[in-house]
Amino acid sequence: MNNSKTIKIIGVNSGTSADSLDVSLVKFKGGDIALLNAFSFNYPSGLRNEILSAGPNSKVYDVELLNLKLGEFVAKKINQFISKNNLSKRSIDGIGMHGQTIHHSQDTGRTISIQITEADIVSARTGITTIYDFRKKDIAMGGAGAPLVPILDYYLFPSIKRPFICQNLGGIANSTLVSSKLSSCIGYDSGPANCLIDKVIQFKSNGKIFYDKNGAIAISGTINNGLLRKLLRNPFFSMPPPKSTGNKEFGIEYARNLYAYSKDKKIKFEDLVATLSMATVETIASSYEKFIFPYSIAKKVIISGGGVNNNYIMNNLSRRLPDIEFIKSDKLGIPSKYKETILFALLCFLRLSNKKVSLKNLTGSNEKLLLGKISNP
């Protein structure tokens, strides 16, 4: 990835929980990646509710209307970010925008991944070339379209001796074994991280509370072993990599059924949250034992994502894997909240540089690929 010229890219991301729109400015030079600025914008409550309600059963018209709304919103916030940081648009080489995922699933060998946020609106309103829709080329070539985070994991943290593991705790938990070559890296989704926890809390609070702050609800609860065993029987967890998952397998309907089950079985709410949190811990740890440790001596895990602030999950990961050193990416200069914005800035940089990536051990596609479509202003 060596380049003598300084390239500056804006990276944009919004996770499945739609808790915020995260924007960053990233510099690429000589193989180094540096985060220069970052900021998060809250969604208006009405728009956030539209995002959370959208899915494969939504009307096409409603999805397209939301696509256009998000294009306008994202463009406006990027322009505000540029003004806030006194940036010249001429100094910005591109925008890497993932878009808002409203559906991701693998059914009978076919991956369906839907991201919305109209890129032509973003490029038109900002005047900056926008790269988007990073998953479709991989899917077209037989891949799962995810996970993409391992591409960034490979290029980051050059001072850490390889092999090591990168663990993302977003809505979904993504794991990467980082090796000396990208083609040798292993990446996969291990299952839910925060998505089910967040959704049952939203059900309980009627949308007033969005997540388990610091893991406090889980800490106050007790694990329901019967429910935990039920959760861990899901066949996804035993599938070998490459694999990905999303809101079809572990989305709002799955969470609603779990919430109803807990009420029917008279499981205390704090026990439900504790059990879901422990399921996150167990599926991550057992995935290492099945898919990484038999092939690697990795002893360090660099961990990022919103889940790093959940003390229940973090403490129990350390207890479950006592021989592993867990290091928050923040301590290495990569704020957990903005790691995925850096990923999409990197993918934008690679696309503008016409650099292909090998994803065979990550997504299952068999060829080196140029990821992303281009929208010029």
Please write the tens of the pLDDT for every residue from 49-84. Answer: 899 889 888 999 999 999 999 999 999 999 999 999
Please state, for a pLDDT cut of 70, what percent of the chain lies above it. 98
Looking at 127-251, list the stretches that DSSP marks H as alpha helix, in order from N- to C-terminal side.
136-140, 149-155, 195-204, 216-219, 225-232
Q: Domain for residue 152, yes or no? A: no
Does 259 lie in the same domain as 212?
A: yes
Region 126-130 average pLDDT: 98
CATH of the domain at 126: 3.30.420.40
Looking at the chain, list the stretches that DSSP marks H as alpha helix, in order from N- to C-terminal side.
45-53, 60-84, 119-126, 136-140, 149-155, 195-204, 216-219, 225-232, 252-264, 269-291, 311-320, 339-352
Does 342 lie in the same domain as 251?
A: no
Q: Domain for residue 124, yes or no? A: yes
Does 177 lie in the same domain as 326?
A: yes
Q: Domain for residue 63, yes or no? A: yes
Does 226 lie in the same domain as 102?
A: no
Does 218 lie in the same domain as 83?
A: no
The pLDDT of residue 156 is above 70:
yes
Does 228 lie in the same domain as 104?
A: no
Strand pairing report for 164-169 and 300-304: parallel
pLDDT band at 290 (very low <50, low <70, confident <90, very high): very high
Q: Domain for residue 151, yes or no? A: no
What pLDDT score does 250 carry?
Answer: 92
The pLDDT of residue 341 is above 90:
yes
Q: Domain for residue 150, yes or no? A: no
pLDDT band at 128 (very low <50, low <70, confident <90, very high): very high
Q: Domain for residue 1, yes or no? A: no
Which residue would you say has higher pLDDT here, 249 or 63?
63
The pLDDT of residue 1 is above 80:
no
The pLDDT of residue 275 is above 90:
yes
Q: Which residues contact 89 (CB under 8 A, 6 or more apart)?
A: 82, 126, 127, 128
Does 161 lie in the same domain as 137?
A: no
- CA-nearest of 234, 363, 241 to 290 is 241
Q: Domain for residue 18, yes or no? A: yes
pLDDT band at 198 (very low <50, low <70, confident <90, very high): very high
pLDDT band at 18 (very low <50, low <70, confident <90, very high): confident
Q: Which residues contact 39 (CB under 8 A, 6 or more apart)?
A: 22, 23, 24, 81, 84
The pLDDT of residue 304 is above 80:
yes
Domain carrying residue 212: 157-332
Assess contact for 18 and 70: CB atoms under 8 A: no
Does 177 lie in the same domain as 258?
A: yes
Beta bridge partners of 38: 24
What pLDDT score does 4 carry?
Answer: 76
pLDDT band at 86 (very low <50, low <70, confident <90, very high): very high
What pLDDT score does 216 carry?
Answer: 98
The pLDDT of residue 110 is above 70:
yes
Assess contact for 65 and 114: CB atoms under 8 A: no
Cα–Cα distance, 350 to 353 (Å, whole number): 5
Number of domains in the chain: 2
Does 202 lie in the same domain as 286?
A: yes
Does 307 lie in the same domain as 176?
A: yes
Does 239 lie in the same domain as 367?
A: no
The pLDDT of residue 252 is above 80:
yes
What pLDDT score does 2 carry?
Answer: 63
Does 171 lie in the same domain as 296?
A: yes
On average, the pLDDT of the chain sits at 93
Q: Calculate ∠ Cα 171-177-182, nearest 5°.
A: 110
pLDDT band at 107 (very low <50, low <70, confident <90, very high): low
